Amino acid sequence: MTKQQLAVWRSLLDTTSALARALTAELALESGLSSGDYQVLLALVEAPGKRIRSSELADSIDWERSRLSHHLRRMEMRGLVRREGSGPHDSRATHVTLTTQGETRFQTASKIHTATVKRYFADALSAQQFASLAEILDALDRHLTSM
């Protein structure tokens, strides 16, 4: 790698980390939800019937199943989700369902999150910069999926 390529790479890592920290902090401060809570709730809101198999949920948010299981236990204790077995003779919690409270909290958090993304990200770039960034991200995505 050239010095310039390495500098741009480091800048990308630093900037995305700073954005993630800012978004996570604001989300937690304003809504009481962690970024993990938000990811889980978003996946459930988008799932048919607001219900999904826990293994599919883990795959969709790219989490290990054990991490998700622990996180869901905490979310369930807070009334955000409900875990259900797949049948009367199966005590394993294989489906996750969004509760009314979880949906309400998500809707509130979503407004906060959207405003925060706008303030920290969208407001920083011009329309031309957005077009360039979209082109760059598309090129990276195509490259990664071809490997």
Task: Classify residue 3: in a domain, yes or no.
Answer: no
Task: Classify residue 6: in a domain, yes or no.
Answer: no
- Domain limits at 128? 18-146
Task: Classify residue 8: in a domain, yes or no.
Answer: no
Residues 16-61 have pLDDT tens digits of 999 999 999 999 999 999 999 999 999 999 999 999 999 999 999 9
Q: Please tell me what DSSP assigns to residue 33.
A: -
Task: Classify residue 32: in a domain, yes or no.
Answer: yes
pTM of the model: 0.83
Tokens describing residue 97: 């369902």
d(CA 88, CA 109): 35
CATH number of the domain that 41 lies in? 1.10.10.10
Residue at 27: amino acid letter:
L
Where does residue 83 rank: exposed (0-12), middle (13-18), buried (19+ CB within 10 A)? middle
Q: Which helix (H) or strand (E) holds 94?
A: strand 90-98
Domain count for the chain: 1
Task: Classify residue 24: in a domain, yes or no.
Answer: yes
Q: How big is the chain by its Cα radius of gyration, in Å?
A: 19
State the average pLDDT over residues 77-94. Answer: 77
